Amino acid sequence: MGLTLTDLCAILLVVPLALLLRDRLKQKNNLPLPPGPKKYPFIGNMLSIPQAFEWETYARWGRECGSDVIYLEGPGLSLIVLNSVKSVTDLLDKRSAIYSSRPRSTMVNEFMGLSWLMSSLPYGKLWMERRRIFHQRFHPSDSAVYRPRQLAHVHKMLLQLVKTPQEFMEHIKYMNGGLTLSLAYGIRVLSKNDPFITLSERVAESLQSLSNPHTFLIDSIPLIRYIPEYFPSAKRMAREWHPLAARLRDAPFAAAQKDIVGADGVATPSFVSRCLENLVKSEDDDKSSYEIIKDTAGVFFLAGSGSTTAAIYTIILALMQSPDVQAKAQQELDEIVGRDRLPDLCDEASLPYLSAVIKEAFRQEPVPLVSLPHSLMREDEYEGYRIPAHSIVLGNAWAMLHNEADYPNPELFRPERFLKEGKLNNDVRDPIAISFGFGRRACPGSHIALSTVWLTTASILSAFTIMKPVDSDGKVIEPSMEYFSGVASQPLPFKCDISPRHSGVKALIRGAIDSDGEGMDT
């Protein structure tokens, strides 16, 4: 998405003023800034900051500068990129007290109406309230809250794969969307084109285009907010997205409330129903409590379904490209689980090769490739460099997970790198610890996402074989291996041939669905 004529005119008007103001506000500190690519007078790195696949460019600049920490700047923009686990640990983890806020995005918060997103909130009371209530209802130690529904939704998806395997991407998307809808609101997805899942997908697509911290000048040059909306600019486009964000926050919450009333207060258990029940018991009629519940449910639905779906797509693509890896994982499943039942999450500890496959998928294509931006609350010093206050700080997960010192030949898909003598090797850095954010802003629902990814992968491999498709002439169709460039790394739509591994697969799946019982009702 390039710069419009309006944006360029605004740059010429406000860049000198913004730079002058920035220089005057800088604290007197003689330490140098971290190294970075060449800067130009007045505009700094504005023209060179990448707007797509930025993780690769950031990693290259780090190698060229000989530094794990690089600095870029533009009008009103100070950007720090951390390319190593050490720098992320030292700053975003150990100094999380000052690195845990978020930069305020005029585009996302004001024009798009997404200021309620937990991931957008600055570090403080509002964010902590929402994080706390999520942990209370989805604590990692209480898997009984979500495990039965995971099984039910995965099994239902497997049956859809038997019927229409060519629509596997849709089946996986609706499985994850349906699971998060059920857990968040107690809403059951009855058919394709579910309005809530479609709405979530549209909002996620709008956020994908805003993943880069310098995509829209409106975030780095506040004066651009006063450009009239009838000019062709990103501001006008964001106004069109605003009502979608409002509906995503309000509509499923209202549907959950309606179900509770219609069921005389006894509704399908969900995050919303449990929270509202707690409010009634505590006689808490404070409007802000309802807003906290509504916001937290909305961000869980939006973030949970999209990122998990993207990770599963990546795993399927990798297994289709690596039939030898797929065969080893299936052999392990046959030995441990057998063919008389489907895998359960209790099997995970006994399937190290499958766990290594999932770790390798997260390593090769993490979701996201670059962390959501942190904001430094006050000026800091690191490794002899000055880190300006209010800098946007990014952790480059892709660079860390393609570091040859930790992962030799990182371009190869090799689950064996995580194994030693048939067991998971704890001496190899676990990519899962890097794939879900850093410090206090790490994803609070990562345990649900990971268990859903594991269960889905194990179940598909146990029941199906994944192969490259062939055309009418019998020629193999090679996937493009191309990915969207955005917040969540997701492969472009691709085809694959998914077929049952044996004649009893359909009956096995139907038997599992019948035994799911209550879980399937949600």
* 483 three-class SS: strand
Give the residue-averaged pLDDT of 348-352.
Answer: 97
Q: Which of 150, 155, 161, 170 is nearest to 464 (CA)?
A: 161
H/E/C letters for each residue in 1-69?
Answer: CCCCHHHHHHHHHHHHHHHHHHHHHCCCCCCCCCCCCCCECCCECCCCCCCCCHHHHHHHHHHHHCCCE
Confidence at residue 304, expressed as pLDDT on a 0 to 100 scale: 81
Find the helix packing angle between 271-282 and 287-321, rounded to 10°. 160
Query: What distance, in Å, lies between the first and last C-alpha atoms of the chain?
Result: 40
Cα(494)–Cα(469) distance, integer angstroms: 10
Q: Which of 488, 395, 468, 467 is nearest to 201 (CA)?
A: 488
DSSP per-residue letters across 215-239: S-HHHH-GGGGGS-TTSSSHHHHHH
pLDDT more than 70, % of the chain: 86
pLDDT over 50 (residue 2): no
Give me the residue label for tokens 């399927």.
316
* 257 three-class SS: helix
Mean pLDDT of the chain: 87
Residue 118 makes CB contacts below 8 A (sequence gap 6+) with 127, 130, 131, 134, 295, 296, 299
150, HSE (Cβ side, Cα atoms, 13 Å)? 25
Confidence at residue 3, expressed as pLDDT on a 0 to 100 scale: 47
C-alpha 146: how far from chain center: 19
Most confident residue range from 48-57, 132-141, 510-519: 132-141
User: What's the CA angle centered on 169, arms 444 and 435, to 5 degrees?
Assistant: 30
DSSP 93: I
Element (H, E) at 407: none
pLDDT over 60 (residue 5): no
Confidence at residue 233, expressed as pLDDT on a 0 to 100 scale: 57
Element (H, E) at 81: strand 77-82
C-alpha 193: how far from chain center: 22
Q: Is residue 251 within 8 Å of 199, Cβ to Cβ?
A: yes
Any known ligand binding at 346? no
Cα(471)–Cα(475) distance, integer angstroms: 5
| pTM for the structure as a whole | 0.89
Give the residue-averaged pLDDT of 301-326.
Answer: 93
Give the residue-averaged pLDDT of 98-113.
Answer: 84
Q: Which residues of 128-151 are buried (b: 16+ CB within 10 A; e: fewer)?
A: ebbbebbeebbeeeeeebbbbbbb
Q: How many contiguous H segments (helices) and E segments (strands) does the chain have?
A: 17, 10
Confidence at residue 30, expressed as pLDDT on a 0 to 100 scale: 84
User: 21-25, 46-50, 77-81: which range is least confident on average?
Assistant: 21-25
- pLDDT tens sequence across 229-244: 555 556 666 677 888 8
DSSP 120: G
Confidence at residue 31, expressed as pLDDT on a 0 to 100 scale: 94
pLDDT over 80 (residue 28): no
pLDDT over 60 (residue 513): yes
Confidence at residue 217, expressed as pLDDT on a 0 to 100 scale: 52
Confidence at residue 88, expressed as pLDDT on a 0 to 100 scale: 98
Confidence at residue 484, expressed as pLDDT on a 0 to 100 scale: 82
Query: Residue 144's pLDDT band (boundaries 50, 70, 90)?
Result: confident
Q: Is residue 461 within 8 Å of 333, Cβ to Cβ?
A: yes
User: What's the CA angle centered on 137, arms 132 and 140, to 5 degrees?
Assistant: 90
Cα(394)–Cα(374) distance, integer angstroms: 6
pLDDT over 80 (residue 6): no
Most confident residue range from 26-40, 164-178, 228-242, 296-310: 164-178
Two structure tokens written together for 242: 């605003």
- pLDDT tens sequence across 449-491: 999 999 999 999 999 999 999 988 889 999 988 988 777 788 9
CATH class belonging to 75-516: mainly alpha
Give the residue-averaged pLDDT of 418-436.
Answer: 95
